[in-house]
Amino acid sequence: MVNVLTWDDGDGDAMPSSYNIMKALLLMRSMLLFIGLATFVYASCAQPDAPPAEVRATADARPAERSITTATRPRIVFLGDSLTAGYGLAKEESVPSLIQARLRDGGYPYEVINAGVSGDTSAGGLSRLDWSLEGDVKVLVIELGANDGLRGLPVAALKRNLTEVITRAQARSIKVVLTGMEAPPNFGAAYTNEFRQVYRDLAKAHDVTFMPFYLDGVAGNPSLNIADGMHPNVAGSRVIERAVWRALEPLLEKSASAPLLDTPADAARSVAK
């Protein structure tokens, strides 16, 4: 059975319950050209056999954080775009980082991998999937499609790319959390409806945990977004993190092992004890 967070539009169609999507999407329109150009640049540079330069640089810049993890430590991978990467936020304020802190405080053994790349499309996410799933990945959180919608890319391509991501993850026995996205209204009602339906259909067809709208409760709220009106601020990131946690927690297992060491400072304190 598909796990779906609470949502209802009153007539049987699945819709997020706490946001004004028209207001949110109208705010997106001012950034359409910029995001579209950024997406083109990043997608054009993506290589299928290696992580994009942005991701590779981030991973290489923090060798100390990764060196203390063990080969057997299970991973949760967030595959997404700027909403996952934490555009406009400090590293520790991104949704994946907030989930990592919650896992650590709750005694869960998982390492969270932030595989978010600003400007990425569903095709870009698919092109770097194999690299992103290195290690003992137990859960994949998919947050892709916002840039497909902003650029008006074919819905069929979005569905094909997301299907490939889901099926390849499931072939490795990786649990999947699929998060939905909305397209702006300027491409017409038919496009936005078909776009929205892709996520619902895939969640049902592949029996995955489903969040109907990643930005539920955040989109369209100026107090929860940075100045561009599209990317969550710290408060907005925490709202999303709580929603992601509700979807993610039932898929996790706790460890009876010793407390996890996530940073060199943690390791040093442990040795001192």
Give per-residue pLDDT as tens, 128-163: 999 999 999 999 999 999 999 999 999 999 999 999
Q: Is 206 a catalytic residue?
A: no
DSSP 171-211: HTT-EEEEE-----GGG-HHHHHHHHHHHHHHHHHHT-EEE
Most confident of 12-26, 30-44, 50-64, 142-156: 142-156
Domains of the chain: 21-59+70-252 (3.40.50.1110)
Give the angle 202-220-179 at the CA atoms, nearest 5°. Answer: 20
With contact defined as beta carbons under 8 Å apart, do 180 and 216 qualify? no
Higher-scoring residue by pLDDT: 5, 258: 5
- The predicted pLDDT at position 158 comes to 98
Q: Which residue is catalytic, options 228, 255, 262, 266? A: 228
| Tens digits of residue pLDDT in 73-126 | 999 999 999 999 999 999 999 999 999 999 999 999 999 999 999 999 999 999
Whole-prediction pTM value? 0.72
- Those residues with Cβ within 8 angstroms of residue 92's Cβ, 6 or more apart along the chain or in another chain: 98, 101
Catalytic residue among 81, 148, 216, 231: 231
Angstrom distances, CA of residue 75 to CA of 4, 72, 113, 123, 219: 22, 9, 7, 23, 29
Task: Report the C-alpha gap between 180 and 209 in whole angstroms.
Answer: 11
Q: Is 82 a catalytic residue?
A: yes
Is residue 136 annotated as a catalytic residue, yes or no? no
With a pLDDT cut of 90, the percent of the chain lying above it is: 66
Contact 121, 252 (CB under 8 A): no
Q: What is the mean pLDDT of the chain?
A: 78
pLDDT at 193: 98
